[in-house]
Structure 1
Amino acid sequence: MKYFSNITAISELSESEGVFTTAQAVRMDISRDALAHSCRVGRLERICHGAYRMSGTQRRDTDELNALWKLTNPSLCAWERKRRWDGIAVSGTTAANLQQMVDFFLSPYRMTAPTRINTRNESLSFAKRELDERDIVWLDGLPVTKPERTLVDLCLDCEDPSLITDAYRDALGRGLNTQRLKELVEENSKTAKRRELMMPLLMVLNG
């Protein structure tokens, strides 16, 4: 009976979360052995260490990104983190890709967090920055910086100025909030070094 109970619980978790973590499974009384067995028999696919998806379900380009975000707080469900956002969000070039701003690649993945997060995953990096929740939008179950904040982060990450300018033009054609962008640029230009980083945006905003 436990075997069939595990199958049911895994199916319910998959339906609720899509990509799910080992810690989420443990919360539903699904053992690690049950997860390993489901992988061996082809019921589950391991996306990365500690994260899974059901075999046969529709794959998304963002499955690995979703897994990596969930692993930053692995025991909580996505709806719990959305209800009380913890300050971690997809940002930089990854956010630009999701919002079709220039031809930035989805990976290597970029996220922002309010505290320092170290990772051994070479496809993921974190920036330690405070984000305002009003600068976040939820896309496909992921917290993603809005275009205004994304543009500022591209400057702070020292991306190619010409690409930042192109990203600005793409965002402008999709309803970019220029007033909020100006506020963010001003907030991040309070030192000479920061102002220099903001130059690609200062030029287009003042031009």
Structure 2
Amino acid sequence: MKYANNIAAIDELSASEGVFTTAQAQRLGISRNALSHACKVGRLERVAHGAYRLSGAPSSETDELAAIWKLTASTAFSWERQAKWDGVAVGGSTAAWLLGIGDFHLSPYRIYAPERINSKIESARFGVRNVDEGDMAWMGGLPVTRAERTLADLCLDCEDPSLVEGAFRDAAAQGLIDSTKLGSLLDELGESKRRAALLEPLARALSASDQKGQS
């Protein structure tokens, strides 16, 4: 592909994806050498190994997170993954930060997948967990667990119960919690004694909230 065509293709990919992967670029005929050259001349910035963004384009706190999520299925375009749910979701403490609930940090990035993901990315913490499509929503192009699922996963990730309770209060104050849905989710996820014990602080918070609402 000629240099001018590479520039046009890179601009097109950047416009549709924002942060994009090497594999996505190759689907449009952009070679690794072309990406390397674009970085050298300052047209592209490397966000993570195998992921780039256009230099001068507005950056976001979630660019690295977006890169890591896209690298979990590096050849697929975002619209393809939105059209067919693959089960890879941003959750736990990272989802809580994105939702604005509790006192958690954006990174290390917590990402769940139905199967084990082998990665050497130090800023990411991958976990094997099944997340139904109905338990997540797309936020800024990323699949983020909804408040109910986020709270449950915080418990299963052994986060401090007091922090989980604080996140519950924040979510309730923002109207993010469907009590019936959360109750069903607790029953579904608390299938073992160990999991039920981990979820107990959230179950107590939900029960107290329901009783307060009835009084």
TM-score (norm 1): 0.98
Question: Cα offset for 1:205?
Answer: 1.8
Q: Counterpart amino acid of 1:188? A: L
Superposed CA offset, 1:118-143 (max 9, x none): 21111101111111111110000000
What residue is the counterpart of 1:188 in the other structure? 189
What residue is the counterpart of 1:133 in the other structure? 133
Runs of 4+ in 1 over 3 A off after TM superposition: none
Question: Cα offset for 1:206?
Answer: 2.1
Question: Cα offset for 1:103?
Answer: 2.0
Q: Counterpart amino acid of 1:131? A: V
Q: Counterpart amino acid of 1:132? A: D
Question: Cα offset for 1:190?
Answer: 2.3
What residue is the counterpart of 2:164 in the other structure? 164
What residue is the counterpart of 1:102 in the other structure? 102
- Using the alignment, how far apart are the partners of 1:21 and 1:48 within structure 2? 9
SS in 2 for 1:198: helix
Question: Cα offset for 1:112?
Answer: 0.6
Percent identity (aligned) = 56
SS in 1 for 2:110: strand
- Using the alignment, how far apart are the partners of 1:204 and 1:49 within structure 2? 42
What residue is the counterpart of 2:211 in the other structure? none
- Using the alignment, how far apart are the partners of 1:27 and 1:6 within structure 2? 12
Match status 1:203 vs 2:204: yes
Question: Cα offset for 1:153?
Answer: 0.2
RMSD of aligned alpha carbons: 0.9
Structure 2 unpaired stretches of 5+: 209-215
What residue is the counterpart of 2:58 in the other structure? 58
Q: Counterpart amino acid of 2:138? A: W
Match status 1:75 vs 2:47: no
Superposed CA offset, 1:38-90 (max 9, x none): 00000000001000000000000100000000000001110000000100000
Q: How do residues 2-21 of structure 1 correspond to structure 2 at under 5 angstroms?
A: 2-21=2-21
SS in 1 for 2:96: helix
- Using the alignment, how far apart are the partners of 1:135 and 1:148 within structure 2? 8
- Using the alignment, how far apart are the partners of 1:12 and 1:31 within structure 2? 15
The 10-residue stretch of structure 1 (54-63 or 181-190) with the greater mean CA deviation from structure 2 = 181-190
What residue is the counterpart of 2:146 in the other structure? 146
- Using the alignment, how far apart are the partners of 1:133 and 1:79 within structure 2? 15
The 10-residue stretch of structure 1 (188-197 or 21-30) with the greater mean CA deviation from structure 2 = 188-197
TM-score (norm 2): 0.94
Structure 1 unpaired stretches of 5+: none
- Using the alignment, how far apart are the partners of 2:190 and 2:89 within structure 1? 22
SS in 1 for 2:102: coil
- Using the alignment, how far apart are the partners of 1:187 and 1:197 within structure 2? 13
Q: How many residues align?
A: 207
SS in 1 for 2:127: strand
The 10-residue stretch of structure 1 (178-187 or 63-72) with the greater mean CA deviation from structure 2 = 178-187
Q: Counterpart amino acid of 1:108? A: P
Q: Counterpart amino acid of 1:49? A: H
SS in 2 for 1:138: strand
SS in 2 for 1:52: strand
- Using the alignment, how far apart are the partners of 1:101 and 1:62 within structure 2? 17
